[in-house]
Amino acid sequence: MISLTTTSFLMGVSTPCSTPSATGRRRPVALKVVSMDSHVRAGERSGSVVVDNNSVKEIPNAPSPVFQVEPKSTPAASASTEEQIMTPWTVSVASGYNLLRNPRHNKELAFTEKERDAHYLRGLLPPTVLAQNVQVKKMLHNIRRYQVPLLKYMAMMDLQERNEKMFYKLLIDHVEELLPVVYTPTVGEACQKYGSIFRHPQGLYISLREKGKILEVLRNWPERNIQVIVVTDGERILGLGDLGCQGMGIPVGKLSLYTALGGVHPSVCLPVTIDVGTNNEELLNDEFYIGLRQKRATGQEYAELIDEFMTAVKQHYGEKLLIQFEDFANHNAFDLLAKYGATHLVFNDDIQGTASVVLAGLITALKFVGGSLADHRFLFLGAGEAGTGIAELIALEISKQTNAPLEETRKKVWLVDSKGLIVSSRKDTLQHFKKPWAHEHKPIKELIDAVKEIKPTVLIGTSGVGRAFTKEVVETMTSINEKPIIFSLSNPTSQSECTAEEAYKWSQGSAIFASGSPFDPVNYKGKVFVPGQSNNAYIFPGFGLGLIMSGTIRVHDDLLLAASEALASQVTQDDFDRGLIFPPFAKIRKISAHIAASVAAKAYELGLATRLPQPRDLVKYAEGCMYSPSYQNYR
């Protein structure tokens, strides 16, 4: 008997954020019959759940006007044969056995008696019917039984591939507990071991072998209405270096957060890994490695593959497609952002997302320390994407607040790289993104000497070098400042410049501390200190939602500043009273709605937003767009 068929279908209404082709119609695809019995075709039987590849709606009144292309609570029978033949794209109709194996629509034991009858599920499930919250409780219980974080990660990935709504319900309802499982720090270990734990392929792999065929590869992806891509080439995964093709865990994890934290519908998200080889010898010699076994392609070969990708995705998904660059090495990240920033809606999370979250943390930290940003001196260890990105956003914000020229405000920020303090005498040998930070000063080799000399009020680690903030460094910061601001941002936990415990202990409880990876609260001399997690996860989901829902076509620095200010504004007096400089992740969906609204408002102000008319209440609009992980009724 029929289980799943695929056929052509008219998508009908195009909602604000769907991405029709230039002609307003999607490219037809060949009729593909995935599985069919001899007498029933798609749409000809009742009891099928429409799972059209563009989206997603099984019940009326579901909330998102942005991500849903067309409400379809009824079976595909509504499409006439003529429509099926003449019109583009595909609709899948799943029922019975294949409905249980369709992660987007599977409800497992939550299928009701009526649904079991209507969708040919009788006998395929044991008699009990469980509510979603009971399923979530059971899954959480099972996950908690694993002691090893990687096993928890694997259980979560299995769930995502089995029952997407339950995955998101679990993640959203228990975000503080499960964020470190599906994201930093565990995702770092998962990428390192991705080959040996590999079970279900997630995301799209584009390797050098697909050169010249990327458009075809995009057509293999089951969803057509993609609105956000997170792409990596795996060369600098967190602070762990080159993990080649196994970097896929990062786009997958980031996009899970787009959905869980920002409410962007999973069907419009596409994780991509571009595999140009790896220089990681260990992986090249690992029999379980999943990528191309060759050294990284560079130069023209690399540039051509990336360019083909960028051209293909814009052509296939439209110019409002958001492309988030993630974990590229410095030597490509800045150039890619500059090159494609002019032609595509691109955002580099490591340069811009991290900058935006850190600026928010600095704005709120001033509540404890006093003064304005312009009154502070900033010293960075690490002058790569995060370091220079944050430095620039701080300088921009000070310039905005004081009307001082950017060249002047940059002078408040100093950076140390592996060769020491960045100073003007090094200018000729510096990579271009470091040059704006080469101020007049005598050369200094060691961080500790730079701290003594520059006397920063704020010390920020973006070096990827674990434990680089030594006891002496933290103590020196403490001797200079009543309340030193110390952010040790490198990920995962092993690469953090110092731990929360070290920061509080060595500063005798005076530090305002935040880290990129999560640390538990620290009890120091009877007082509990709660470290902030200054991770771009606070920003990119809401930022992306704001861009998508407003149809914004380019990213502008002012949008990043708007996101920072919105995040800072979400820290309540109660949070401050508890010593927090970031709001709890438990409130992240509300926070994301505010970030999205501020970003969209700024985009409208700058004339970058194309979705007109501008919604009157952008926060409400953002909330209304958000994906709900609750099960829907299949009539």
Ligand X SMILES: O=C([O-])CC(=O)C(=O)O
List interacting residues with Mg ion (CB under 5 A): 326-327, 350
Which helix (H) or strand (E) segment holds residue 356: the answer is helix 354-369
Q: Can you tell me the distance from the alpha carbon of 401 to that of 607, in angstroms, rounded to the nearest whole number?
A: 22
Torsion of CA 136, 137, 139, 145, to 10 degrees: 160
Q: Look at the alpha carbons of 24, 28, 29, 31 in this order and tell me if their dihedral is positive or negative.
A: positive
For residue 417, give both structure tokens: 């790289």
**Residue 34 CB, nearest approach to ligand X (Å):** 35
Give the active site residue among 57, 165, 254, 434: 254
- 43/389 with CB nearer ligand X: 389
Closest to 625 measured CA to CA, from 548, 511, 539: 548
330 is in an annotated binding site: no
Contact between 349 and ligand X by CB under 6 A: the answer reads yes
- 70/242 with CB nearer Mg ion: 242
Residue 191's DSSP bridge partners are: none
- 233/350 with CB nearer ligand X: 350
Judged by CB under 6 A, the chain residues 476 through 515 that form the site for ligand X are: 491
Q: Which residues contact 187 (CB under 8 A, 6 or more apart)?
A: 153, 238, 249, 250, 253, 492
Contact between 324 and ligand X by CB under 6 A: the answer reads no
User: Quick one: what does residue 263 bind among ligand X, Mg ion, none, with the CB cut-off 5 to 8 Å set by partner type?
Assistant: none
Distances (CA, A) of 7 to 45, 216, 282, 571: 14, 19, 45, 49
Residue from 461, 516, 542, 546 binding ligand X (CB under 6 A): 516
236 is in an annotated binding site: yes
Contact between 588 and ligand X by CB under 6 A: the answer reads no
Integer Rg of the chain from CA: 25
**Residue 536 CB, nearest approach to ligand X (Å):** 5
Contact between 563 and ligand X by CB under 6 A: the answer reads no
**Strand, helix or coil at 346?**
strand
User: Quick one: what does residue 535 bind among Mg ion, ligand X, none, with the CB cut-off 5 to 8 Å set by partner type?
Assistant: ligand X
**Residue 24 CB, nearest approach to ligand X (Å):** 36
Residue from 535, 564, 570, 592 binding ligand X (CB under 6 A): 535
Judged by CB under 6 A, the chain residues 230 through 259 that form the site for ligand X are: 238
- 235/417 with CB nearer Mg ion: 235
Q: Can you tell me the distance from the alpha carbon of 128 to that of 551, in angstroms, rounded to the nearest whole number?
A: 45
Give the active site residue among 183, 194, 258, 631: 183
**Residue 254 CB, nearest approach to ligand X (Å):** 7
Residue from 58, 164, 235, 327 binding ligand X (CB under 6 A): 327
State the number of binding residues for ligand X (CB under 6 A). 9
- 488/535 with CB nearer ligand X: 535
DSSP letters along 30-86, please? ----SB--SS--TTSSSS-EE--TT----STT-S-TTT-S----S-GGGS-HHHHHH
CB 267 within 8 A of CB 547: no
User: Quick one: what does residue 52 bind among ligand X, Mg ion, none, with the CB cut-off 5 to 8 Å set by partner type?
Assistant: none
**Residue 592 CB, nearest approach to ligand X (Å):** 16
CB 18 within 8 A of CB 54: yes
Q: Can you tell me the distance from the alpha carbon of 180 to that of 149, in angstroms, rounded to the nearest whole number?
A: 9
User: Quick one: what does residue 516 bind among Mg ion, ligand X, none, with the CB cut-off 5 to 8 Å set by partner type?
Assistant: ligand X
- 223/349 with CB nearer ligand X: 349
173 is in an annotated binding site: no
CA 226 to chain centre: 15
535 is in an annotated binding site: yes
- 336/619 with CB nearer Mg ion: 336
| DSSP state for residue 137 in the 8-state scheme | H
Contact between 536 and ligand X by CB under 6 A: the answer reads yes
327 is in an annotated binding site: yes
| DSSP state for residue 536 in the 8-state scheme | G
Closest to 622 measured CA to CA, from 552, 555, 548, 571: 548
**Strand, helix or coil at 406?**
helix
Neighbours of 635 (CB within 10 A): 15
Residue spans of beta strands (DSSP E) within 149-223: 204-207
350 is in an annotated binding site: yes
- 327/502 with CB nearer ligand X: 327
**Residue 541 CB, nearest approach to ligand X (Å):** 12
Residue that is written with structure tokens 């110092």 in the block: 498
User: Quick one: what does residue 609 bind among Mg ion, ligand X, none, with the CB cut-off 5 to 8 Å set by partner type?
Assistant: none
**Residue 178 CB, nearest approach to ligand X (Å):** 15
**Residue 502 CB, nearest approach to ligand X (Å):** 20
Residue 183 is a catalytic residue: yes
Q: Can you tell me the distance from the alpha carbon of 302 to that of 355, in angstroms, rounded to the nearest whole number?
A: 27
Annotated binding site for (S)-malate: 236, 491, 535
Residues lying near ligand X in the complex (CB under 6 A): 184, 238, 327, 349-350, 491, 516, 535-536
Annotated binding site: 236, 326-327, 350, 491, 535
Q: Which residues are catalytic?
A: 183, 254
Annotated binding site for a divalent metal cation: 326-327, 350
